[in-house]
């Protein structure tokens, strides 16, 4: 973080006045890159008064579009898992969240306030508002809550509701309320929720009803997880299957347009359309590159919005015949892997969104591989090949991500959690949910290399030291070291929670990031381990820059940095609006990139190798033998050769310079520097600052 403290002093012939100005400016450590766009979209709501559309995300709160999905901005409520959205006739917006209850906005999403009075269960999956403005909230285990005062307070209304795990709500124009449950079918209330009746005649037993929709004829459709779509024309007294042509039985979302067409969002099949209840569904997925559709909405112009799991928002302007991504500004991706090649091209592996590439330090991102969970990335230094570990095995790109080829022969467990490339021994290791597999000499057949590991060991992390020795961390809380002849894996650290990250510095000191117990360190090749200064913390990622600074990405505390081999740590989170950090990478210039759980990728504003400089008060102001002063500052070269000087003058443009003492250093600790200046004019205000310069930056 750059802190440029300018100072000033006033010199007089008889008396001397010293005064210090405030910091001229302060700079965040982080800035969000422009992506990757997309992410998990769980809910939509459209403000009928202005056609603004709101999208509820998994982890990044609410986004708003004022131009039909052309662009999105974050709408006040951030870092929140939003399952449900609803807007009342006055324009109040309600957001149902995971574990945080209900939030309300009265100014179109600019400001949100908690609205949880009386809400005993704070995981809210469904919201609906009846014609009289009463708000119904469906919770996960607490049943239905009702507010009759615009969200000011809530009361449970569960008489007869024998299954309290609510997933969907729909209200007819006559006020009848339908509730879809997770394993209990459908319930109906005809008296504003005062009592409920189970109505599942014709539904599969114990149906998981993920979605409900009512068409212009007041017929009700129920989308189930596993049974497809069911229709009732008599208020739920009887249900019939309407699944002709519906290739996917897992229906997560339903929506109806003004023409009476029904749209079904499915798991893996994309979107299906039923034209005016014609009896047969048609798959409409042209351009819909992510086919796990979790939510749907139709606006007054009959445009259809599809929210997907990992691919963000897609828009159709022609009843679903064609779709196009509509994600500009919608940064809600879960970035679980990062890698940077020698050209500083950044690759980001996401949850359900595939792999993205940036060739301009994150200013723009392009999707290069879609849909997979990409939990590991590695780049071969010898040829720049990129390997991606996914939930479907390993993929290889030989052309900077433009195309990918599966490399799974011999890989009997394709749930890949970690990757490492041993440049010395020309071996690629893949950590999976079933042990370790190896590729030898750039081959294309994997061989099990798990001897010494228990069966079905989940390998979360891999690292290789400068001598080619390999280490792995497991879900069961152990670190193993491969014997020198690659014969077997020996445990070197045990009885920990999951070891989710490993990193090795230039001295071959090993650092292990754990789930809940912080970072452990070994300085003797894994023979002995001690806790570092970062404890009681869940660490998902570790990275080390060329000066030996260690960075730890954590699940709730953002990023921590240690400049002294892990003895002490400091949080560096200014500008990091999502502090759930899942992946880290540092480029050759020392800039660090952080992949977050729902907020895309962040980048350090300055290189982590840039020097730090702080200006302190001047002393020894005297006019005894010509007016003079001593200027003071503190600097940190951050491991690079750095020179120091003071700039001074009668304006903040300075104009004069004097070399500091000492004039240069190459250390990773704070130094005190000073300089004497003479020949100053009386009754004059002087401004000054310390300046440190190395190959990374001038500060």
Separation between Cα atoms, residue 382 and residue 570, nearest integer Å: 35
Query: Which SS3 state, helix, strand or coil, does residue 432 take?
Result: strand
Domains of the chain: which residue ranges? 7-27+610-693, 38-246, 247-322, 408-604
Over residues 403-443, the pLDDT tens digits come to 999 999 999 999 999 999 998 889 999 999 999 999 998 78
Separation between Cα atoms, residue 430 and residue 410, nearest integer Å: 12
Q: Which residues contact 278 (CB under 8 A, 6 or more apart)?
A: none
Residue 433 class from Cβ within 10 Å (0-12 exposed, 13-18 middle, 19+ buried)?
middle
Ramachandran angles phi, psi of 247, nearest 5°: -75, -15
Separation between Cα atoms, residue 626 and residue 607, nearest integer Å: 42
Task: For the chain, give the percent of residues with pLDDT over 70.
Answer: 96
Q: Is the alpha carbon torsion for 358, 376, 43, 273 positive or negative?
A: positive
User: Structure tokens of 284?
Assistant: 């409409």
User: Structure tokens of 374?
Assistant: 């990409």
Over residues 463-494, the pLDDT tens digits come to 999 999 999 999 999 999 998 777 799 999 99
CATH superfamily of the 408-604 domain: YVTN repeat-like/Quinoprotein amine dehydrogenase (2.130.10.10)
Q: Give the pLDDT confidence score for residue 529 in this predicted structure.
A: 97
Mean of the per-residue pLDDT values of the chain: 92
Domains 38-246 and 408-604 share a fold: yes
Q: Does the pLDDT value for residue 10 go beyond 70?
A: no
Provide DSSP, 159-215: TT----BEEEEEE-TT--EEEEEBSS-EEEESSTTSS-EE--TTSPTT-BEEEEEE-
Neighbouring CB atoms inside 10 A of 242's CB total 21
CATH classification code of 247-322: 2.40.10.500
Residue 545 class from Cβ within 10 Å (0-12 exposed, 13-18 middle, 19+ buried)?
buried
User: Structure tokens of 197?
Assistant: 């009746």
Asked if residue 40 lies in contact with residue 58, where contact means CB atoms within 8 angstroms, the answer is yes
Q: Give the pLDDT confidence score for residue 52 in this predicted structure.
A: 95
Over residues 60-97, the pLDDT tens digits come to 999 999 999 999 999 988 889 999 999 999 999 999 99
Q: Give the pLDDT confidence score for residue 296 in this predicted structure.
A: 98
Over residues 381-404, the pLDDT tens digits come to 989 999 999 999 999 999 999 999
Over residues 604-634, the pLDDT tens digits come to 999 999 898 999 999 988 876 678 899 999 9
**For 267-294, what is the mean pLDDT?**
92
Q: Give the pLDDT confidence score for residue 6 in this predicted structure.
A: 57
Q: Does the pLDDT value for residue 279 go beyond 70?
A: yes
Q: Does the pLDDT value for residue 563 go beyond 60?
A: yes
Q: Give the pLDDT confidence score for residue 262 in this predicted structure.
A: 96
Over residues 208-242, the pLDDT tens digits come to 999 999 998 999 999 999 999 999 999 999 999 99
Q: Does the pLDDT value for residue 564 go beyond 60?
A: yes
Over residues 364-373, the pLDDT tens digits come to 999 999 877 8
Task: For the chain, give the percent of residues with pLDDT over 90.
Answer: 84
Provide the Cα torsion 310, 375, 609, 365; round to 10°: -30
Q: Give the pLDDT confidence score for residue 24 in this predicted structure.
A: 33
E-strand spans in 196-283? 197-198, 209-214, 220-224, 228-232, 240-241, 251-256, 262-266, 271-274, 281-283
Over residues 652-686, the pLDDT tens digits come to 899 999 999 999 999 888 899 999 998 888 888 88
Q: Give the pLDDT confidence score for residue 373 in this predicted structure.
A: 87
**For 528-557, what is the mean pLDDT?**
96
Closest CA to 37 of 359, 379, 362: 362
CATH 2.60.40 fits 7-27+610-693, yes or no: yes
- Longest Cα–Cα distance of the chain, Å, equals 103
CATH superfamily of the 38-246 domain: YVTN repeat-like/Quinoprotein amine dehydrogenase (2.130.10.10)
């Amino acid at each position: 973080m750059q802190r440029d403290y300018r100072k000033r002093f006033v010199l007089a012939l008889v008396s001397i006045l010293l005064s210090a100005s405030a910091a001229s400016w302060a700079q965040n450590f982080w800035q969000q890159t422009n992506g990757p766009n997309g992410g998990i979209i769980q809910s939509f709501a459209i403000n009928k008064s202005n056609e603004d559309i709101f999208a509820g995300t998994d982890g990044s709160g609410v986004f708003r579009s004022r131009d039909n999905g052309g662009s999105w901005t974050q709408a006040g409520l951030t870092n929140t898992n939003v399952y449900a959205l609803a807007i009342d006739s006055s324009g109040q917006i309600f957001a149902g969240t995971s574990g945080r209850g209900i939030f309300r906005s009265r100014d179109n999403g600019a400001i949100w306030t908690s609205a949880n009075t009386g809400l005993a269960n704070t995981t809210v999956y469904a919201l609906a508002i009846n014609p009289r403005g009463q708000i119904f909230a469906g919770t996960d285990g607490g049943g239905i809550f009702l507010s009759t005062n615009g969200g000011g307070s809530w009361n449970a209304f569960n008489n007869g509701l024998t299954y309290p795990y609510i997933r969907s709500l729909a209200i007819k124009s006559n006020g009848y309320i339908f509730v879809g449950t997770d394993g209990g079918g459908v319930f109906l209330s005809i008296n504003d929720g005062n009592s409920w009746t189970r109505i599942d005649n014709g539904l599969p037993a114990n149906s998981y009803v993920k979605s409900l929709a009512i068409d212009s004829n007041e017929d009700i459709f129920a989308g189930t997880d596993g049974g497809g779509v069911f229709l009732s024309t008599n208020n739920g007294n009887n249900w019939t299957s309407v699944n002709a042509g519906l290739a996917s039985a897992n229906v997560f979302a339903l929506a109806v347009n003004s023409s009476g067409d029904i749209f079904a969002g499915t798991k893996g099949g994309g979107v299906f359309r039923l034209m005016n209840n014609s009896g047969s569904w048609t798959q409409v997925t042209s351009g819909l590159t992510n086919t796990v559709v979790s939510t749907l909405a139709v606006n007054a112009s009959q445009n259809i919005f599809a929210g997907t799991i990992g691919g963000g928002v897609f828009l159709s302007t022609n009843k679903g015949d064609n779709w196009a991504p509509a994600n500009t500004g919608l940064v809600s991706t879960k970035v679980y892997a990062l890698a940077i090649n020698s050209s500083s091209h950044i690759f980001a592996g996401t949850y359900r969104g595939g792999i993205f590439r940036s060739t301009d330090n994150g200013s723009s991102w392009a999707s290069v591989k879609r849909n997979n969970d990409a939990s590991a990335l590695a780049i071969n230094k010898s040829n720049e090949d990129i390997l991606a570990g996914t939930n479907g095995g390993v993929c290889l790109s030989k052309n900077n991500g433009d195309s990918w080829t599966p490399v799974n022969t011999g890989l009997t467990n394709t749930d890949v959690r970690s990757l490492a490339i041993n440049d010395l021994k020309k071996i690629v290791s893949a950590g999976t949910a079933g042990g370790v597999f190896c590729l030898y000499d750039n081959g294309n057949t994997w061989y099990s290399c798990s001897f010494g590991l228990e069966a079905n060991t989940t390998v979360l992390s891999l690292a290789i030291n400068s001598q080619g020795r390999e280490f792995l961390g497991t879900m069961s809380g152990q670190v193993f070291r491969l014997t020198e002849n690659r014969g077997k894996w020996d445990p070197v650290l045990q009885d920990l929670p999951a070891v989710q990250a490993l990193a090795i510095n230039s001295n071959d000191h090993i650092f292990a990031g754990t789930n809940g117990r912080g970072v452990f360190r070994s300085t003797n090749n894994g023979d002995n381990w001690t806790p570092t200064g970062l404890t009681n913390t869940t660490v998902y990622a570790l990275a080390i820059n060329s000066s030996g600074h260690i960075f730890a990405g954590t699940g709730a505390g953002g990023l921590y940095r240690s400049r002294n081999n892990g003895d002490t740590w400091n949080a560096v989170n200014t500008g990091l609006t999502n502090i759930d950090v899942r992946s880290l990478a540092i480029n050759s210039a020392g800039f660090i990139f952080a992949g977050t759980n729902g907020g895309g990728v962040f980048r350090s504003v300055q290189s982590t190798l840039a020097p730090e400089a702080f200006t302190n008060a001047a002393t020894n102001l005297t006019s005894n033998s010509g007016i003079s002063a001593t200027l003071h500052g503190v600097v940190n070269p951050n491991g690079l050769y750095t020179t120091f000087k003071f700039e001074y003058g009668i304006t903040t443009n300075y104009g004069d310079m004097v070399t500091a003492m000492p004039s240069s250093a190459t250390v990773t600790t704070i130094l005190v520097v000073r300089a004497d200046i003479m020949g100053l004019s009386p009754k004059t205000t002087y401004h000054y600052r310390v300046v440190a310069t190395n190959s990374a930056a001038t500060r």
